[in-house]
Amino acid sequence: MSVLKPTGSIRRRLVIQLAIIAALLSLAFFFTVRFVAEQAATDTQDNILAASATSIADAVYSEGGAVRLELPYSALSMLGTISEDRVFYRVIVDGETLTGYEDLPINEARNASRTPLFETMEYRGDNVRTATVSRTLSVGNQSRTVLVVVGQTRLGLAAISTRITTTATAVGVGFFLFATALSAFAAQNALSPLNKLAESVARRGPNDLRPVVATTPTELVPLVSGLNSFMRRLRDALNRSEDLIAEAAHRIRTPLATVRTQAEVIHRQMERPKNRNSVREMIRAVDESSRSAGQLLDHAMVTFRSDQLETQDIDPKELLHEVVDRLSPTAELKDIQIDLQLPNNDFSISGDPILLQNAARNILDNAIKYSPGETEIVVRLIPSDTCRIDFIDQGRGFADADIRNLTKRFSRGTNVNDIVGSGLGLTIADDVARAHGGKLVIGTNDNGVGACVSLVLPLS
Amino acid sequence: MRFLLVEDNEELAKALSDRFALDGHVVDHAPNLGDAELRTRTVAYDLILLDIMLPDGDGREFLRSHRINADSTPVIVLTARSEVSDRVGLLDLGADDYITKPFDFSELEARSRAVLRRLGGAANNSKEFGGVVFDSTAGQITFNGHSEALRNRELRLLEIFFNAPGKIFSKSYLMDRLFSFQDDVSENAIEVYIGRLRRKLQDSPVTIETVRGVGYHMTQKT
């Protein structure tokens, strides 16, 4: 079970932030391009309008006391170079229209200048840009004011503007997508040392608490040194707790051994059966407490190692040989024969040898403990699609009602109250089997007498 | 047998020595590694019992130098720990076996016997009485050119008689030697084993006699 709650990835956050910046830049680019381009188009139209108006104004002359105009063709044709827009003009002399569209509006207030005056207005249902220039003309001894207004619809300009907008949009979107892709790549690249570090830590075995020694970017140095210092403290703590367990076991078991030995000496020297029984009970109590302490330590060790299982290939035949050799002297004390039945072919299982040995030892130890003297225990290894190890004894077996509960911690059969036990042996074996993806099967010997406990493990 | 007990806890060492003496064994006590090394250089022991946590070092160091010096005296480690990895490590270092404190003396005896048997047996492990040769390592008796194999309890029972021929042993003493404190047996159980030994000794010049109201002793047939 993981206690980590991921709150979003740094990479995603980085990419999103960079994408937002890219989007803002794209928008700014889009508006700038559109503004500048439209301005340039407007300026171009204005310049042509101004040139046209000026050239018409220049073509006004006086003849015989009248004002005349020979409209230069080029003045209007130059407007056609921009687009197919409609063109309007009006020439006014002292407020009277000389020629052109009489309804073309005019700004009379600002007419005494040769500097063109530009305006945008609605005229005949269209948006029209006009340039107005004025000129003073001497007619006889009179000074007459000539106003020339040239206008042009803005449809062409709108088309240019649309084209510019489309192009600017395409470029903006393209820039945004490209920048986002680059950000994703950059984020990936920037985070790769972090990923490498995570990988190198994750690849480690559970007991590998050596410091991380790798070239690290400056930003990761605090993290790596924090990690290393944590691992150092963890290693120290583990060593300390291991020392503590060893020390505690030593401190508890040594006085227990003294008590037990002295009790045995006293027991030997006692004559009265009542006293002998009392001392005997004392010795049994010492045995019970030391056995419980041992199995509690074993169980703690099994739990610890099962959580972080480190497996290797194991020859189950060799493992059983070792366990049987180890327990044979105990069995011999009761004249119990251990019959080890092994197949001829070689095969292996994958697991933690210390855990598997512990499980097998606990099961066999139980079998010896509950078997009457001068009987036989069969330890049988049956490889098929799994590796099954049967431990078959001729003891009192299991009461049916107990079988389900026997693998629970401190649970013991109802028919064994007269024998010292902690109720942890089968729990340990069951935990080990489960940790290896196998199971512990508790049943009755085929002959109906005694127990058959099977350790079933997957083949490697 | 002569043991060397390397154990820093004085009370435990004293208790163990007393306990071994009850079974007729001689025990020398070394409270530290330095003392233990001095003693192994001068006395030939049948077996060394070695504690691991000692004031002047780790018992494993002693094991290592013991093996480097090619000393063949068997070593049984007395450990307070029970973790298997620890035990396996001890065996790798050259311990012949280990036993977890506190231990049952009959288990220690059984382990010593197993170790000695594995090492080919000490030369002086057979005893002779009245024409019967008792070999505890091979687990058999030989008389008139004929051998009889003994089961473990029969062997341990007969060993008591062979260690002190003629001496009378009470039923309760024999019970203590033969059964562990965990075995729930009545005193009559000893009669079963005496009966078996008598059958195996039937054709030999030796028998085990009942001394009414006192116990049993081994004697030559008259």
Q: Which residue in the set B15, B19, B110 is minimally distant from A329, CB to CB?
A: B110
Residue range B123-220, CATH number: 1.10.10.10
Domain B2-118 has CATH 3.40.50.2300: yes
Q: Which residue ranges does chain B devote to CATH 3.40.50.2300? A: 2-118
pLDDT at residue A296, as a whole number? 80
Residues A119-154: pLDDT tens digits? Answer: 888 888 888 999 988 888 888 888 888 889 999 988
Would you give the DSSP letter of residue B101? S
Residue range B92-109: mean pLDDT, rounded: 83
Task: State whether residue A253 is helix, strand or coil.
Answer: helix
Residue range A400-407: mean pLDDT, rounded: 69
CB atoms within 10 A of CB A229: 11
Q: Please tell me the distance from the alpha carbon of residue B24 to that of residue A253, in angstroms, as a whole number.
A: 26
Residue range A13-162, CATH number: 3.30.450
Residue range B89-104: mean pLDDT, rounded: 80
Residues A206-264: pLDDT tens digits? Answer: 667 788 777 788 888 888 889 889 888 988 887 787 677 667 777 788 888 899 999 98
Domain A207-308 has CATH 1.10.287: yes
Instruction: Report CB contact under 8 Å: B18, A258.
Output: no
**Is the CB of residue A22 less than 8 Å from the CB of residue A180?**
yes
Would you give the DSSP letter of residue B183? -
Task: State whether residue A270 is helix, strand or coil.
Answer: coil
pLDDT at residue B181, as a whole number? 81
**Is the CB of residue B60 less than 8 Å from the CB of residue B50?**
no
pLDDT at residue A389, as a whole number? 95
pLDDT at residue B73, as a whole number? 87
Q: Minimal CA–CA distance to A286: which of A247, A265, A322, A259?
A: A259
Q: Look up the ipTM and state it.
A: 0.81
Structure tokens at A199: 């990988």
Instruction: Report CB contact under 8 Å: A361, B84.
Output: yes
- Chain A residues within an 8 Å CB radius of B74: none
pLDDT at residue A62, as a whole number? 86
Instruction: Report CB contact under 8 Å: A287, B182.
Output: yes
Is the pTM value of this prediction over 0.80?
no
Instruction: Report CB contact under 8 Å: B105, A264.
Output: yes
pLDDT at residue A83, as a whole number? 62
Residues A250-303: pLDDT tens digits? Answer: 778 888 889 999 998 898 888 888 998 899 999 989 888 888 887 887 787 787
Percent of the residues in chain A that have a pLDDT greater than 90, as a whole number: 25
Question: If residue A125 lies in a helix (H) or strand (E), which one and from where to where?
Answer: none
- Chain B residues within an 8 Å CB radius of A259: 102
Give the residue extent of every domain in chain A: 13-162, 207-308, 311-460
Res. A342: pLDDT tops 90: yes
Asked if B187 has any chain A CB less than 8 Å from its own CB, the reply is: no
Residue B199 C-alpha, separation from nearest chain A C-alpha, in angstroms: 18
Cα angle A29, A30, A33 (rounded to 5 degrees) comes to 80
Res. B122: pLDDT tops 70: no
Using CA coordinates, name the residue in chain B closest to A258: B12
- Chain B residues within an 8 Å CB radius of A358: 84
**Is the CB of residue A93 less than 8 Å from the CB of residue A145?**
yes
Using CA coordinates, name the residue in chain B closest to A264: B19
Q: Which of A242, A245, A247, A265 to mutate to test the interface with B (most CBs of B within 10 A)?
A: A265
Using CA coordinates, name the residue in chain B closest to A281: B181
Average pLDDT over all residues of chain A: 85
Res. A92: pLDDT tops 80: yes
pLDDT at residue B32, as a whole number? 92
Q: Minimal CA–CA distance to B108: which of A321, A329, A362?
A: A329
CATH superfamily of this structure's domain A311-460: Histidine kinase-like ATPase, C-terminal domain (3.30.565.10)
Residue range A356-384: mean pLDDT, rounded: 91
Q: Which residue ranges does chain B devote to CATH 1.10.10.10? A: 123-220
**Is the CB of residue A187 less than 8 Å from the CB of residue A14?**
yes
pLDDT at residue A1, as a whole number? 46
Structure tokens at A184: 């994703």
Comparing A44-53, A230-239, A413-422, B55-64, the range with the smallest average pLDDT is: A413-422
Residues B86-95: pLDDT tens digits? Answer: 555 667 677 8
Q: Please tell me the distance from the alpha carbon of residue A360 to that of residue A438, in angstroms, as a whole number.
A: 13
Average pLDDT over all residues of chain B: 85
